[in-house]
Chains A and B, each alone.
Chain A
Amino acid sequence: MKFLRQFAARIVGQSIRIFARAITAVRADWQGIEPVPKQRVYFANHTSNGDMPMIWSCLPPSIRRTVRPVAAADYWLKNKLRAFVGPEVFNCVLVDRRPEVKDKPMDKIVAALDEGASLIIFPEGNRNMTDDLLLPFKAGLYNMGLARPDVELVPTWVANLNTIMPKGEVIPLPLICTVTFGSPIHVQDGESKDDFLARASDALAALAPEDRA
């Protein structure tokens, strides 16, 4: 049974990848790093529910196997299908966003890092529905960088997804999506939380394509 579920998870994963490639021709643009299996935290902008599958799909297989997206438990445990796709296909680290629960998200994240996994996180915390490029970052990225200073924090810009699948629309548009990976950053000695988060946010915003309008 366990074997069957794993097999199904692989099939579903491949289907998602092929679908993403066929529709959006998603492409990885490795600007600041090489696509090598190194422990990293990819932190990305968040405008659509498709962001995470898109980043996941464009990673080469050897990296995809070790990467774990950090995702909200309330979203991925809502029904049986999601509870299968989130934890088993994407191998998500599920964190509980409610403040009253005991297990702290950061403990789970650090545990995953200690197991050798790379992570995908969305430091804005929520989907960005505003006209601003990015929402203010939550502290999580800083805490990760502080707790495990060897891990590279890689800014990752997902372009075009908010046009491909804006909130409230049902049919995705087949436009070309590009995922750009920038140069990794680290928390520097004595750097304050706010300074670091501002620097991380700037590093990510710098990867956004210039507005042509």
Chain B
Amino acid sequence: MTETTSDILLLAFGSFGILIALTFVGEVLRAREDPGFVNPVLDTYMTRVQSWWGMVAFVGIALLMGKIGVMVLFAFTSFAALREFLTLTTKAQADHMSLALAFFVVLPLQYFFIGMGWGGLYTVFIPVYAFLLLPIVSALRGNADKYLIRVAETQWGLMIAVFCVSHVPALMTIDIAGYADRSVLLIAFLVMVVQFGDLLEYFFGRRIGKTRIAPGLSPKTWEGVTCGVVCAMLIGGLLAWITPFGIWGAMAMAGTASLVGLLGSLVFAAIKRDRGVKDWSHLIPGQGGFVDQLDSVIFAAPIFYHFTKYFYG
């Protein structure tokens, strides 16, 4: 067993330990309630914990399988996220071909370029080539009704669901001196600090949150976000041993990723509010859709990628 594999296993068992504790707490609370009485808060909590089990298992298996496993997992995530996003955007039959290209050509190509490690291409493919070419395909059909809205929303979907998500596996392509095959652990680091930051932001926001950041948009508070980011930094410091950043570097990277992620989820809240939906879809029980679950990771990924590349690559 290589050191990388044993580290992944250690992280997976650590996460399982936390989940076992969370499941245990839920089951104890449930056992103490009257049978027949259904507590909706507890029910939501338990379905969420169950979804977390699934997520940890999937990510763990993908990381253990290495490059291929991670690529497949995130390509599938991109597909699910793009499907959720484009279900809610403005479109006309004139866009049918460009939307089909987005799903079946742009998305696979982006992951192919990442698999090949062509960094010069996958960082510009969607913001430049897809951005210019897909509107041409839509324009060829000659329907100008809401044209700018249609192409702009489609491009947003691609940026969020494919470009941003794909920067998580792209972390594996960064060459870091003395880090070699351990770059897969950067994915575990990013996902863990951002998701724990989210969870603790929610927890502290509920407890001590007072000042809303964007009233009318999201219940997130400055107090909650501050606590979430500080906790993410602490967790980042604890996980420094899997990164090439060193303790202070790991804390700074974790804090940056968590802050960008938490503010990014405000963006998603605004989009959902605009479209009059509560969740992006129903595919993850208790959580809503893939975009609901991953919104902060999606926002943090490109920033985390570029910071890693500039400062350590």
Contact = CB atoms under 8 A, between A and B. Distances in A.
Nearest to A176: B87
Interface size band for B: 20 to 34
A14 B86 CA distance: 27
A166 B93 contact: yes
Interface string B64-86: 00000000000000011001101
A25 interface: yes
B36 interface: no
A169 B281 CA distance: 25
Interface string A148-182: 00000000000010010010010101111000000
B84 A176 contact: yes
A27 B280 CA distance: 13
Interface of B is mostly: helix
A25 B104 CA distance: 17
A160 B275 CA distance: 15
B146 interface: yes
Interface size band for A: 10 to 19
Contacts of B104: 171
A110 B93 CA distance: 39
B151 to A, nearest CB: 15
B283 A173 contact: no
B99 interface: yes
B45 interface: no
Contacts of B83: 25, 174-176
Contact of A175 (B87, B93, B275, B282): B87
Contacts of A213: 90, 146
Interface in B262-283: 275-276, 281-283
A175 B84 CA distance: 7
A25 B283 contact: yes
A25 B103 CA distance: 15
A96 to B, nearest CB: 32
A210 interface: yes
A212 interface: yes
9 contacts: A25-B281, A163-B91, A166-B93, A173-B99, A175-B83, A176-B87, A212-B90, A212-B276, A213-B90
Given A169-B96, A171-B100, A213-B90, 5 more contacts: A25-B283, A166-B93, A166-B96, A173-B86, A174-B103
